[in-house]
Amino acid sequence: MNRIYNFSAGPSMLPVEVLEKAKAELLSYGTSGQSVMEMSHRSKDYEPIIEEAEALLREIMNIPDNYKVMFLQGGASTQFAMIPMNFKKSGKADYVITGMWAKKAASEAAKYLEVSKVASSEDKTFNYIPTLDKATFNPNADYFHITTNNTIYGTKFPALPDTGNVPIIADMSSNILSEVIDVNKFGMIYAGAQKNMGPAGVTVAIVREDLIGECIDGTPTMLQYSTHAENGSMYNTPPTYTVYMCKLVFEWIKNLGGVAAIQKMNEEKAAILYDYLDGSKMFSATVSGDDRSLMNIPFVTGNDELDKKFVKEATAVGFVNLKGHRSVGGMRASIYNAMPLDGVKALVEFMKKFEENA
C-alpha cells in the first residue's frame, strides 16, 4: 500500500511503527481478548495503559514530581477558558499575541479576567515573534501566556521571556515533544494531542502543583484542574483509545533516543526545507531568522495562480495538505515528529523539479 506524505497542520501523520503496533493489538490487547477500545477504563487491563502513558511522558519530557500530568478533553481550545477560571487571583493576566490561537486564548480569558496584551506581531500577519519589553509585564499578573509555536504562521519563540515570579503558561499544541525544554521554567504547559502525540481527542495539561487550587465561583467540576489531578485523569471516562495511542507514540519517541534525538531529526528536516527555500528563485519562506518554526513552514511563490498549480500537482503525486492557511496564503508544510526525513527530502526534490520546469 502506498502511504502519502501528509503535511497537514493537524491531525497529522502518525509513525508507521505506532500504527502497526496498534493494528497488531487491535482485536486483542495482550491476552485480554478485546480491543483497548472495548475496555472499561477501570479494568485491570486499561489502568496500566493510562498510568504508563503518564509515566512515559514524565520520562521523555523530564517532568518534575511537583507537576501534575492530566489527560483532558475538549481540545486546547477548552484550556483557553480553564486557564483563567483556575488561575484567576488578582484578576489580571498578560498575553503575547503571536497568532490566531494566541488571540483566541486571550479573548476567551478576557471573559473572566483583565487581559493585558503585552506585545503583538499582528502588524505583519504574525510573521515574527515580537521583542518583549519586561517593563510592559505586570509583575503581579496571575500568569503570563504564550503560544510557543504558531501553527498557522510558522513562528516559534526563540527564547522564553523572563517573567520573574509570574508563572509562564504555554500553549505547546504544535511543538510539544519536538525539542528539549525545561519544564521547570513553566507554570503550565498544554497541548492538543493531534500533532505530535496521537490522534485528536486528548489534551495534555502539565501543571505545577502549587498553582492548582481555588477556581472562580461557578466553575464546573469538569473544568477544575483539581478534579482531574486528584483522580489521575479518571474522574470520568477518559478518551481511552487516544490515550493508548499517545502511549505508543511516547514509547516510539523513547525508543528513538528520546526528545533530544527527535530534536536533532527535526532540525535536520527543517534545515533541508529552509535551505532550499532560501536558495530558490521561485519559493520563499514567510518567516526569517531565529523565529522560524521547526514544525510548520509556510512558503509562497508570490503568485496565487502558481501557488494553486503547485498545490494541485503536489497533491497528485502524494504530497498532501500543503495549502497554506487562508490568512497567509501560499503553502505550508507541517513537518511534525512523525514526518520522515525522506518525506521532506522528497518534497524538496519535487519543488526543485517544479521550479526547473516552470
Residue range at the interface with ligand PMP (CB under 6 A); choices 22-30, 74-82, 316-324, 325-333: 74-82
Cβ nearer to ligand PMP, comparing 54 with 171: 171
Q: Is 73 in the site for ligand PMP (CB under 6 A)?
A: no
Q: Is residue 162 classed exposed, middle or buried when 0-12, 13-18 and 19+ CB atoms within 10 A define those classes?
A: exposed
Contact between 174 and ligand PMP by CB under 6 A: the answer reads yes
Query: Hey, how many other C-beta atoms are within 10 angstroms of the C-beta on 135?
Result: 6
Task: Report the residue number whose CB is nearest to ligand PMP.
Answer: 75
Choose, from 171, 247, 269, 323, the residue flagged as catalytic: 171
Which amino acid belongs to residue 117? K
Which secondary structure element, helix H or strand E, spans residue 48, and what is its range? helix 47-61
Q: How far is the CB of 178 from ligand PMP (least distance, A)?
A: 12
Query: Which listed residue (68, 88, 101, 269) is catalytic?
Result: 101
192 binds ligand PMP (CB under 6 A): yes
Stretch that binds ligand PMP, among 26-34, 168-176, 229-237, 250-258 (CB under 6 A): 168-176
44 is catalytic: no
3-state secondary structure of 348: helix
Interface with ligand PMP, residue 77, by CB under 6 A? yes
Query: Are 207 and 188 in contact, with CB atoms under 8 Å apart?
Result: yes
C-alpha cell at 348: 524538496
Considering the candidates 68, 88, 156, 195, report the single residue annotated as catalytic.
195
> Which range in 57-65, 75-83, 209-217, 238-246 contacts ligand PMP by CB under 6 A?
75-83
In the complex, the smallest distance separating the C-beta of residue 229 from ligand PMP, rounded to whole angstroms, is 20
Binding segment for ligand PMP (CB under 6 A), chosen from 71-79, 117-125, 159-167, 330-338, is: 71-79
Check binding of 10 to ligand PMP (CB under 6 A). Answer: yes
* Torsion from C-alpha of 319, 325, 331, 336, nearest 10 degrees: -50
Q: Which residues pair with 42 in a beta bridge?
A: none
CA–CA distance, 211 with 203 (Å, rounded to integer): 19
- Euclidean distance between CA atoms 92 and 84, whole angstroms: 9
328 binds ligand PMP (CB under 6 A): no
Is residue 307 flagged as an active site residue?
Answer: no
Active-site residue, 252 included: no
Quick one: the chain helix, strand, coil %, rounded to 5?
Answer: 40, 15, 45
Contact flag: residue 189 with ligand PMP (CB under 6 A): no
7 binds ligand PMP (CB under 6 A): no
Q: Please list, in sequence order, all residues whose beta carbon lies within 8 angstroms of the beta carbon of residue 172, skipping any fewer than 6 positions away.
A: 148, 149, 189, 190, 191
Q: Minimum CB separation from ligand PMP for residue 173, in Å?
A: 4
Among 5, 46, 101, 157, binds ligand PMP (CB under 6 A): 101
**Contact residues for 299 (Cβ-Cβ < 8 A; gap 6+):** 277, 283, 284, 285, 286, 330, 331, 332, 333
Strands 296-300 and 331-334: antiparallel
Q: Which is nearer to ligand PMP, 39 or 176 (CB)?
A: 176
Reduced to 3 states (helix: H, G, I; strand: E, B; else coil), residue 256 is helix
Binding region for ligand PMP (CB under 6 A) out of 81-89, 167-175, 225-233, 310-318: 167-175
Active-site amino acid positions: 101, 171, 195
Positions in the binding site for ligand PMP (CB under 6 A): 10, 75-77, 101, 147, 151, 171, 173-174, 192
